[in-house]
């Protein structure tokens, strides 16, 4: 059989999907849930400061703070910084503070030139903290009672300078359930988990800004969020910065540690990911373009090609069908691992990735527009 461009394409796609499947299988084995620290007396446990930046979070802040204050850890404080909210966030926080002395409420300073909102809020929180360890999270998260024991257990078991975990993603409606759980797919299919912990290379780095746990000493040793003060995707950039500083990073399965509903409906999904995707690639247009072409060729195109090949009775082109079925199998496996990744969305994987590609193109468009990115009522002009 002659090696035509079509055959070469199908063979390359099958090879790429086999690599994704192999990476996912590795992560199914080694992407671990943390184990809670046990056998340590309460008096020997370090003080932990839980730090929450909040801007216009009136819908979620009460549930977040209540879950934090309900944790079964003997020595912690919760500090929430109201980052100049324009809603009732501050009033809700004051009411909660009056009920529990472990909650401290700060009023954020005006954002200085050269900073973005969340890094500035996190930097203020860290400077106000009293704990030996810091847990940085987001105002739309809720936590299980063992969250701090799990974080400390992971830090000590894996001897990691920084611990981060992916959440249990709460999704409602078609588009949320279609697009948001693809974050699990990215982690499992593209990022070999053991390399995050065992290698010093910053391209093998991952973190979720909703769960960053590290010692206060480590935070200030790497210059904290001041090092990523002008980043919209500050969590990814912080994890890469940590590795460049020679620190170790452990990234694990936090689906039994905390939960978050990131966005509500397609409009928020579109706006939220548009804010992050291009900045996560350091605004490197050639790099992101290559990635988008790769995603289209390997995760979107094989399904329609398989149908077209079947209709033309070209059995050798069923390599495209094999590639499609392999990626669907990975997505289905994730639905068994994570409750926030519904199984019904697995066969529709190409539609999900086509949506992501559209959002990424919009992210590029936003970055080059005159107004730049807008988030939480703030505008970040193009650089």
Structural domain boundaries in the chain: 5-29+268-380, 31-167+208-262
Mean pLDDT for the chain overall: 92
Q: How do residues 86-113 score in pLDDT, each as one tens digit?
A: 999 999 999 999 999 899 999 999 999 9
Per-residue pLDDT, averaged over 131-153, amounts to 97
pLDDT at 374 over 70: no
- Of 189, 210, 195, the residue nearest 249 (C-alpha): 195
pLDDT in tens, 314-332: 655 678 889 999 999 999 9
Confidence of residue 376 (pLDDT cuts 50, 70, 90): low
More reliable by pLDDT, 306 or 277: 277
CATH 3.90.550.10 fits 31-167+208-262, yes or no: yes
pTM: 0.92
| pLDDT higher than threshold 70 for residue 379 | no
């Amino acid at each position: 059989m002659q090696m035509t461009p079509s055959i070469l394409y199908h063979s390359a796609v099958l090879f790429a999907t086999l690599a994704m499947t192999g990476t996912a299988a590795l992560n199914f084995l080694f992407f671990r849930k943390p184990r809670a620290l046990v056998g340590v007396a309460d008096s020997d446990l370090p003080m932990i400061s839980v730090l929450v930046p909040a801007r216009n979070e009136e819908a979620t802040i009460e549930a977040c703070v209540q879950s934090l204050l309900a944790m079964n850890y003997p020595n912690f404080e919760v500090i929430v910084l109201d980052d100049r909210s324009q809603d009732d966030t501050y009033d809700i926080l004051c009411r909660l503070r009056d009920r529990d002395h472990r909650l401290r409420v700060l009023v954020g300073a005006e954002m200085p030139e050269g900073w973005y909102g969340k890094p500035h809020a996190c930097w203020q929180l860290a400077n106000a903290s009293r704990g030996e360890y810091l847990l940085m999270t987001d105002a739309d998260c809720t936590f299980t009672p063992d969250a701090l024991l799990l974080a400390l257990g992971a830090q000590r078991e894996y001897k990691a300078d920084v611990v981060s975990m992916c959440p249990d993603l709460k999704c409602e409606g078609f588009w949320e359930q279609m697009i948001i759980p693809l974050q699990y797919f990215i982690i499992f299919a593209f990022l070999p988990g053991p390399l995050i912990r065992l290698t010093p290379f910053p391209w093998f780095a991952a973190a979720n800004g909703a769960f960053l746990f590290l010692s206060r000493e480590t935070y200030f040793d790497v210059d904290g969020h001041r090092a990523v003060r002008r980043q919209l995707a500050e969590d990814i950039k912080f994890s890469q910065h940590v590795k460049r500083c020679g620190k170790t990073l452990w990234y694990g399965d936090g689906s039994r540690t905390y939960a978050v509903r990131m966005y509500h409906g397609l409009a928020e999904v579109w706006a939220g990911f548009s804010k992050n995707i291009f900045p996560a690639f350091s605004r490197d247009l050639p790099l992101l373009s290559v990635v988008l072409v790769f995603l289209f060729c390997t995760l979107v195109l094989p399904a329609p090609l398989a149908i077209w090949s079947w209709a033309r009775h070209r059995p050798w082109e069923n390599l495209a069908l094999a590639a499609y079925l392999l990626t669907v199998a990975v997505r289905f496996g994730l639905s068994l691992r994570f409750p926030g990744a519904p199984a019904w969305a697995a066969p529709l994987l190409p539609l999900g990735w086509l949506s992501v590609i559209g959002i990424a193109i919009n992210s590029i468009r936003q970055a080059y527009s005159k107004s730049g990115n807008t988030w939480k009522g703030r505008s970040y002009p193009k650089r």
